[in-house]
Structure 1
């Protein structure tokens, strides 16, 4: 490719930019914070989010969104979900015809209930013939920057587009699989952060491994139930972007969302927990957006409902657990089982 635009110079955006630039790909890394970009340019390293990984010559930085996306064959969106629409809308006029646009964001817009690719479709300029997809899977940014073996999935409606992005990102330590289930991958990516906060709460309450295993399993059932209601394919939720990402985020010490849960389980308020965080924990906002989405679709999601009560109505963590276990007894069956 002639140029790849990486929109967002946080931890994940920087890790992906490093991956591509190390392959010899020309990458432009954008951030809205001019001071942050100036430090990146001076240090040739992201000392704030990915220290110890110098930028290859192929990696350039800018605070001009137009300059970043202009003539880019592939645009990778790595900005928080609550600011995604505004950034995409501003970038769209400068995107070239036929560009591949990849969302690497794990969230759902609160106001609309839309996933990131749905936002791009809604804002799209049809004359540009853009193709929209998503990249997701069990992938902590710091481990990708360290070249730890990692496997993810990229999904596009068009198989050729998915295969192009697959080849673009694949290396001898970063394996990429393809899928046609864009919505299923996006719902998995968003909801797993909600379940990860719940997992952190359980750990903060000093519950054991039994509890964690039950939470992950029933959390996956809720993710699949919502995903299928949105048009996703059931097999997606057993794959890297479903079960794989869920297990990683619920158990890994590098998980920002699990960390928020740990703080809540230990007795801190949500405000206190977030004030101690350096990076965004998408699961907090996603709890609200997914709760609204599930309610609108009539999808029953008990764990999500309790997380909404904890985060937005001050419910005690212990009370939420008791209420989950006092629900009517049921048969375990397929994803439709509540």
Structure 2
């Protein structure tokens, strides 16, 4: 048995407690400052108020002030912070984690640098840890929704990091007959692939709203148009992987995650609203209070591509769907899918 400390009690981190507990480990779940109600509820009856699932008996629950106690004697730690808590995690949590405790992060995202380079969050974690500290930082990528993992639906993800022995250790801790894990040392490839899918999921789900608008009926779907946008997304994501130096095999994680995201969640909601004809501001107003990582990722990815185009590395014509999504978000453009640009023939 190993001791695993889960830091932040969001839906995905909490869902991963299921394979951890079922493999016989001691699980300590620590809430972030935003998770106080979640932890208070779990202490009463193990019911997670946002995951809407009852967690296993035997999990030990902690508020953030008890983090050091929860880390005492831990063999591994799992980071469940959302991308919006990145700075908080870097500033407040990384300094507290002992170097002897390897870290596995579920946080998906990337930032764009001034030269157009896209950098995934595990790299940011490494750069932001205290000077002289050397944490063993790893991450999870791939198509896996928290509630379906908690329900034991078969899921296939990738664990990535620099140290294969650490990755094997994490796989041994968490792999089950329903949680299937591939290991990869290509951190940039895996993590950028699954981050960029948020931008393209918004693009694909425009077709859902357009179908509803055309038919005048909520819930109606035309799958040809969705499939076409899905295919264009995979094409552009593959090119982006090439640009960042990620292995092409990682497209399976990005495309799989794109599929999952298109079929549910917050990104589908805003894409559908935009497709129905709402302006970006109107759609955001309707979804007031909902955090949308797809907006951040689409903006950052498009900004990076524009910088690369300025340097002559790429042509914007290679990314017509991404550029259209960006124009909707940041320039107030109306939805007008650039179908003809998808069919351009390369000379």
Q: TM-score range with shorter-chain normalisation?
A: 0.7 to 0.9
Q: 2:240 aligns with which of 197, 202, 226?
A: 226
State the 1:74 CA deviation: 2.2
Cα 1:36/1:158, change in 2 over 3 Å: same
Q: 2:326 aligns with which of 308, 317, 321?
A: 308
How many residue pairs are counted as aligned between the two chains?
324
Matches of 1:272 and 1:101, distance apart in 2 = 40
Match of 1:89 in 2: 91
Q: Say yes or no: does 1:288 pair with 2:306.
A: no
Deviations 1:206-237 (A, max 9, x none): 07322222211221121122222112011211
* Larger CA Rg, structure 1 vs 2: 2
**RMSD of aligned residue pairs (Cα, Å):** 2.5
State the 1:278 CA deviation: 6.9
- Give the secondary-structure state (helix, strand or coil) at the position aligned to 1:114: strand
Counterparts in 2 of 1:1-338, with a 5 A limit? 2-29=2-29, 30-33=31-34, 34-47=36-49, 49-64=50-65, 65-109=67-111, 114-125=119-130, 127-206=132-211, 208-237=222-251, 239=252, 241-250=253-262, 252=263, 254-274=264-284, 275-276=286-287, 280-298=291-309, 299=314, 300=316, 301-317=319-335, 319=336, 321=337, 324-327=338-341, 330-331=344-345
Uncovered stretches (5+) of structure 2, i.e. residues with no partner: 212-220
Matches of 1:31 and 1:61, distance apart in 2 = 9
State the 1:176 CA deviation: 0.8
State the 1:284 CA deviation: 1.4
Note if contact 1:18-1:59 (Cα within 8 Å) is conserved in structure 2. Answer: no
State the 1:111 CA deviation: 7.8
Greater alpha carbon shift after TM alignment, 281-290 vs 4-13: 4-13
Deviations 1:171-208 (A, max 9, x none): 11111111121111111111111111111111110073
Note if contact 2:11-2:51 (Cα within 8 Å) is conserved in structure 1. Answer: yes
Cα 1:329/1:264, change in 2 over 3 Å: closer
Cα 1:75/1:52, change in 2 over 3 Å: closer
Uncovered stretches (5+) of structure 1, i.e. residues with no partner: none
Matches of 1:21 and 1:272, distance apart in 2 = 44
State the 1:25 CA deviation: 1.8
Note if contact 1:153-1:178 (Cα within 8 Å) is conserved in structure 2. Answer: yes
State the 1:124 CA deviation: 2.5
State the 1:133 CA deviation: 1.8
**Runs ≥4 in structure 1, deviation > 6 angstroms?**
none
